[in-house]
Chains A and B, each alone.
Chain A
Amino acid sequence: MSTGLEPASETPARIVYPGSADPGAPRPATPTGVPHHGGPENPSAAALRARFPDAVRRVQVVWGETTVVVVGERVLEIVRWLHDEPLHLYTYLSDVTAVEFRDPEEPLAVVWHLRSLAYRRFLRLKAEIPPGGPLEADSVWSVFKGADWLERECYDMFGIRFRGHPDLRRILMWEQYLEGFPLRKDFPLRGRFSRAEQLRQALAANPEARYSMEELSIADAFEDLPPSMRARLQGGEQTGE
């Protein structure tokens, strides 16, 4: 769509066309009659099994979507390989989330939804955290910048610490939130604290007055604070409460 407004000096931008790496593939169509289990497997799953035989635990196809369950410690390596490998090119990260089952014996799963735009493929990667295991997972932020907030949300809601995330802190809940991780199954729907306690905390908090230590340090605001407050903040205390 030429507008006639482009500066003459600018080199024409590259346009990425999905499906361009696989021009012979049939036109994508709306799936119908998808079986519950089985059906065609995403070709990347077989490639992953061949490339990482000791890291791929199992591959399953449910409702036509291929899930590869992998060893948690290898996720970053696998995602980087899928991203860079010219035969796969999973260059788009749709989602990072986690699933906890109602059955406490079931492992908690961290889920990555990846898309290969070049090949029009969709792949679900899963890493399982056994009950009682450390709530940790690899951060894929070094491959996908878009993972930043998705991982922060997953940490906020489930308490999963993403190794290698540059700035892992709460995102939807406030930083001083004390009740735990809301999407865990042991977290009651109404919250852990009584309504009276929740109300007391909400009234005591002043969310609009709160700057993080990082924010205060970037401008002169920090210098302008009284010395006693500066000392407290430097000791790691949060502002606002």
Chain B
Amino acid sequence: MDNTRTIDVALSTSGLDAEGRPVRVPLAVDRAGHPVAVTPPQALEPDLQGEHMLINLGPQHPATHGVLRLVLELDGETVVRCIPHIGYLHCGFEKIGEYRQYNQIIPWTDREDYLNSIGNNVAFALGAERLFGIDITPRCTVLRVIAAELSRIISHLVWLGTTCIDIGAFTPFLWAFQERENVYRLLENWVGARLTTSATRVGGMAADIPDGWMDQLRGFLSEFPRTIDEIDRMLTRNAIWVGRTVGLGAMSAEDAENYGLSGPMLRASGVAYDVRKDFPYLDYETYDFEVPVGTRGDVYDRFLVRMEELRQSIRILEQAVVRLPDGPVNIDDPRVILPPKTKAMNEMESMIHHFKQVMEGPRPPIGESYVAVESPKGEKGYYMVSDGTAKPVRWRIRPPSFVNLSAIPKLVEGHLLSDVIAINASIDIVMGEIDR
């Protein structure tokens, strides 16, 4: 390399200097003669003039999956540096939660990661129940597993479809969205809403499944694997797909763990951490399922991991369908759960309970809880602190997409601009959750 503007490649791609501080070198210094230019690993030809270009990707761009803005410094077509900007969708969910009773927060959880709304409902209810010291009923446990896995299927299908569009494959997008429609129909028949489900309550669910719903679910479970196989045949060995994804945005296991990545992002890099296996909830340890793990941590591995997770979700759902016990959905505790409407209208005590539930809300004891679940994006945690009143002192969402996205400068630097789209798609971000 006879270019005087080359520097140590390892130094520039990690973005850190010898002391571990980020390298911040303005180009002006480069003109003064210091060797600061970058030869990324995939650079084909250094730009003739050596001038870098600043490009603004987003916030209104169809391939950034929401209002994400990436400021990219390009050398030719190669990304030298990436500075992400977020916050365009910030609505202050955590602040609003401090002014709401626990059951009133559940509709807000629909709206953060809106592809996983019923999964968020389940996660929030689990967190609140730990704060209240409640153990839910066996039927509710299984229903919540069904809800969480259906929601994982929705989220992965949307990810699959949109990633296909980003990379240029249109047909699998239609197949994925058709199946997603089937899952939404199931949810609609269960809780009455498709996207904003608000399905759980502290201590139970808003509604039990209606008659015949299990047959609809069984029907879906028998049809859906065929679609996955079809998408699999279409993409997994497809030369264009492989060429557009293999080797892009790779992350080693150590780095992925250190950057706090979670979910398929972490597992594709070779860390077999799945909250359902390692810190189980909802009796996940009693289900028979595998945690797929990648080896190279690139976009292709993330695709393979998510495809396998779809199949594992079907496995879990099949077991849940078989084991769903009869019995009540809600716990029998008038301090937390609303009485049935007929009782509230006919018995004095139940009416008082109903009134106090609605007007004052259930009060947890003083304490705090952090409950994490394996959302489709990764470790989603709800940290709640109670001072004994009906509203939390602090409601904190640990957003997996937020932490996963924070690694994007490391993932895209050294890649081509067109690959930024594929890498960004592989993170599976939902801006509603990132900005909250």
Contacts and interface: CB of A to CB of B under 8 A. Distances in A.
A220 B52 contact: yes
Interface string A196-222: 000000000001100110111111111
Contact of A63 (B20, B131, B398): B131
Given A6-B296, A189-B96, A215-B54, A17 B365 contact: no
A146 B398 contact: no
Contacts of B236: 3
Given A101-B393, A218-B52, A34 B59 contact: no
B296 A28 contact: no
Interface in A2-18: 3, 5-6, 10, 12-18
A168 interface: no
A95 B261 contact: no
Given A117-B271, A218-B52, A30 B280 contact: yes
A208 B67 CA distance: 11
Interface string A21-63: 0000001111011111000000000000000000000000011
A101 B367 CA distance: 12
Contacts of A117: 257, 271, 273, 278
Contacts of B341: none
Interface in A157-191: 157, 166-167, 170-174, 182-183, 187, 189
Interface string B209-232: 000000000000000000000000
Nearest to B59: A208
B99 A6 contact: no
B86 A166 contact: no
Interface in B277-308: 277-285, 292-297, 300, 304-305, 308
A16 B270 contact: yes
A95 B399 CA distance: 9
B300 A29 contact: no
B208 interface: no
Given A28-B278, A221-B54, A99 B385 contact: yes
A97 interface: yes
Contacts of A221: 54
Interface string B42-68: 000000000111101001000000000
Nearest to A35: B133
Contacts of B71: 211, 215
Nearest to B73: A218
A34 B133 contact: yes
Interface string B374-388: 000001010101010
Nearest to B130: A63
B177 interface: no
A80 interface: no
Given A34-B133, A97-B383, A219 B367 contact: no
A154 to B, nearest CB: 10
Contacts of B94: 157, 183
B253 A14 contact: yes
A189 B95 contact: yes
B390 to A, nearest CB: 12
Interface in A98-127: 99-103, 111, 113, 115, 117, 120, 122, 124
A131 to B, nearest CB: 15
A225 B389 CA distance: 56
Contact of B86 (A13, A122, A171): A171
A68 to B, nearest CB: 13
Contacts of B435: 172
A63 to B, nearest CB: 5
Given A111-B383, A173-B87, A30 B281 contact: yes
B135 to A, nearest CB: 5
Interface in B352-409: 365, 367-370, 372, 379, 381, 383, 385, 387, 389, 393-394, 396, 398, 402-403, 405-407
Contacts of A207: 59, 88
Contacts of B304: 1, 3
B21 interface: yes
Interface string B249-263: 000110101111100
Contacts of A189: 95-96, 99
A229 to B, nearest CB: 16
Most buried by A among B87, B269, B277, B285: B87
B81 interface: yes
B367 A14 contact: no
B165 interface: no
25 contacts: A1-B293, A1-B295, A3-B300, A6-B295, A6-B296, A13-B253, A18-B277, A28-B277, A28-B279, A36-B365, A91-B258, A99-B393, A100-B394, A115-B279, A117-B273, A146-B407, A166-B22, A167-B22, A173-B87, A183-B94, A217-B27, A218-B54, A218-B73, A219-B27, A222-B28
Interface of A: 1, 3, 5-6, 10, 12-19, 27-30, 32-36, 62-65, 67, 91-95, 97, 99-103, 111, 113, 115, 117, 120, 122, 124, 142, 144-150, 153, 157, 166-167, 170-174, 182-183, 187, 189, 207-208, 211-212, 214-223
Interface of B: 20-22, 24, 26-28, 51-54, 56, 59, 69, 71, 73, 80-81, 83, 86-88, 90, 92, 94-96, 99, 130-131, 133, 135, 236, 242, 246, 252-253, 255, 257-261, 269-273, 277-285, 292-297, 300, 304-305, 308, 365, 367-370, 372, 379, 381, 383, 385, 387, 389, 393-394, 396, 398, 402-403, 405-407, 435-436
